[in-house]
Amino acid sequence: MTWTPPPYADPTAFTEQDIVLDAADRTVPGTLTLPSQPSVGVVLLAGGGPFDRDETSGPNKPLKDLAWGLASQGIAVLRFDKLTANRPEAMAEPGYTMTSEYVPHGIAAVRALAEHVDQVFLVGHSMGGKVASKIAAEEPLVAGLVIMAGDTQPMHHAAVRVMKYLAATSPEVVTPETVAVFERQAAVVDSPELSADTLPTDLPFGMPASFWLDLREYDAVATAAKLDVPILVLQGGRDYQITVADDLPAWRDGVPSATIEVLDADNHVFFPGTGPSTMADYQVPGHVDPAAVTAIVNWLP
């Protein structure tokens, strides 16, 4: 099914151009969305997985929704394909980490957008929200962060929790045996014996040990708390991946200066709905909640 613009987007309010970001000896393609004479811009960071610049999943493109929605309100936007978008096999290669996948090109994106606006903010979704404070800690041009469903639980623990939820809500897809596998793999990540030589087949999602060793050393909340920039945390009330109960308290307690807003109707990709969210949600055509776009627009200077 073809993506259609959300009702809050006005394609006549901006222009788009293709760009290339060059960092760490790798290039990635991206899109620069420019309204006339913008003073503020945002770099969008997609969630975990080999996502393109639109965070395309099934019939939906949540980051394109967001880019067009923000640009329609006069905010410049730069979004880019993750390194793994065109080479997903790289996620299984030794040496792959969240840091290497996000930080070099995230910094390059901030610097590229800074050529067009006075202030650049990061808007990160899911793992993109988790890593946003890491990018800001390394790039002083970042004026602030918007963290959308940013996880604070250790990812391997969250994976077990999510698998248990899916086993209950989608038993035809996730079985008790699958949950047991994730529990065993999460225990390996927690083990002091985890090393670069640990086989990916013994680890969650088949990610190499380098990925998990990198994550074990990173605390998104503690990193954010050290930043001298404003932070907005958005959370979907129906999100079963990153949740109000399991992840949001760490942002509230660890970064008390942050502005926090819960959008009760929204799932993990900030699509509104009713009832418990399930895996099937992501295959239903929809758009990012206009309330999420409005929250960001109202918070930005």
Cα–Cα separations (whole angstroms), residue 257 to 108, 132, 135, 145, 233: 28, 17, 19, 12, 11
8 A C-beta contact, residue 50 and residue 40: no
Alpha carbons 50 and 89: distance in angstroms, whole number: 9
- Show which residues are catalytic: 126, 239, 268
Cα of 113 vs its chain's centroid, Å: 19
Residues 139, 227: contact at Cβ < 8 Å?
Answer: no
Residues 6 or more apart in contact with residue 218 via CB below 8 angstroms: 98, 99, 134
Tell me which DSSP letter residue 246 carries: T
Tokens standing for residue 273 = 């709905």
Q: What is the C-alpha to C-alpha distance for residues 21 and 28, in angstroms, rounded to an integer?
A: 5
Tell me how far apart the alpha carbons of residues 47 and 242 are, in angstroms, rounded to a whole number. 12
In angstroms, the CA 289 to CA 284 distance is 14
> Which residue has 């290039």 as its token pair?
27
- The strand pair at 76-80 and 40-45 is best described as parallel
